Amino acid sequence: MKLHFLTIALIAAGIAITGQVVAGQNAAESAQKSDVTQATAKSGHPVKQEIRIKRITPEYWRVTLDNPPFNIFGPETIPQLNDVVTQLETDPKVKVVVFDSAVPGFFLTHYNFIPPFSETTSLPPGRTGLPALPDILVRLSRAPAVSIVEIRGRATGVGSELSLASDMRFASREKAVLSQFEIGAGFTPGGGPMARLPRLIGRGRALEVLLSGDDIDGDLAERYGYVNRSFPDAELDKFVDTLARRIATFDKQAIIDIKHQVDIASLPPDADLGTEWATFLRSVQRPAAQQRITKLMKLGLQVDPDVEKHLPHYTGLVGEGQP
């Protein structure tokens, strides 16, 4: 199977995320029910719903990633996340949002290679002027609502990048796995980890994560500062829900003001995310990268659960010249 080099790159780098705008319900229903947007693909067929927004209260939302079996996302889901972030930017009541997963073992992984690559390249730049994915992640970080990720399962590539773009990260001690595996497939990441990780965990540890392409479990992620805290899995939901409900009781303008001042001190310039994306695009053209990802596909990437769960092992096989 011959793959376009940019399509291959997107598989390896995991450069997309999902979101779904939810509409059509009245305010009373929205506090208890999931909203659903009737998104339509260019073909005129409904787009698969890969994300659910549930308004626990008008101030506290949950965004659930749900694309079994591996929570792999493709170009059709990029506009869905854009819609979610737009709602966070414009809704006058929402104060906190929690991202979680409905797929056991996977928070969010890498990109879907099956759709034609034109479905990705045809997406217009976002409001910041950056390409679609960096734009979404930049806007999520700067949104006037607090974003929290609850990591239970694998957060690989874009899953790590969504986590880094969010305001807080909490992990299951037994089940969370974070990684930027792209180095093993011959690419540089494109969703912001080179710009964000050094500010979060320091230069040396950032290079360890990015250049090893290895898995980081919940406890190590906590020690490094990759996540705020790790919890025994049975305690994770209660802690995150309690924190989100507490934040939801506070004054929204105070939340906005605090976030803005912290952003000044901690977020990378938007231009750095654009540079990272451009570096990623250059890296995907190298023949060595194409060869590595093609070998990973033959080994079962995106099909075999063992490959998805143990990516560092299989990228190691590719590096050793296995089939």
Is residue 96 classed exposed, middle or buried when 0-12, 13-18 and 19+ CB atoms within 10 A define those classes? buried
177 and 155 in contact (C-beta within 8 Å)? Answer: yes
Nearest of 185, 181, 191, 182 to residue 215 by alpha carbon: 181
Peptide bond into 69 cis (omega under 30): yes
Long-range contacts of the stretch 37-44 (C-beta < 8 A, 24+): 37/80, 37/83, 39/79, 39/80, 41/76, 42/119
What pLDDT was estimated at residue 17? 32
H-assigned helices in the chain: 5-13, 27-30, 78-90, 118-121, 132-142, 158-165, 193-201, 203-212, 218-224, 233-248, 252-266, 270-283, 287-299, 305-309, 311-319
Residues 6 or more apart whose Cβ sits within 8 Å of residue 26: none
Distance from CA of residue 140 to its chain's centroid? Answer: 11
User: Which pLDDT score, from 0 to 100, does residue 319 have?
Assistant: 78
Q: What is the pLDDT of residue 73?
A: 72
Quote the distance between the C-alpha of residue 268 and its chain's center. Answer: 17
pLDDT tens, residue by residue, 87-126: 999 999 999 999 999 999 999 998 776 666 667 677 899 9
Number of structural domains the chain divides into: 1
Mean pLDDT of successive 10-residue segments in the chain (323 residues)? 44 36 32 38 62 97 95 82 95 98 94 67 88 94 98 95 98 97 91 96 98 97 98 98 98 98 96 90 84 90 94 89 56
d(CA 179, CA 224): 13
The helix-helix angle for 5-13 and 287-299 (nearest 10°) equals 60
The domain containing residue 87 runs over which residues? 5-319
**pLDDT given for residue 39 in this prediction:** 41
- DSSP sequence for 18-37: -----BS--HHHHTTSEEB-
For 269-284, the pLDDT digits (tens) are 999 999 998 888 788 7
Percentage of residues of the chain with pLDDT beyond 70: 81
Whose tokens are 């880094």? That residue is 164
CATH number of the CATH domain containing 215: 3.90.226.10
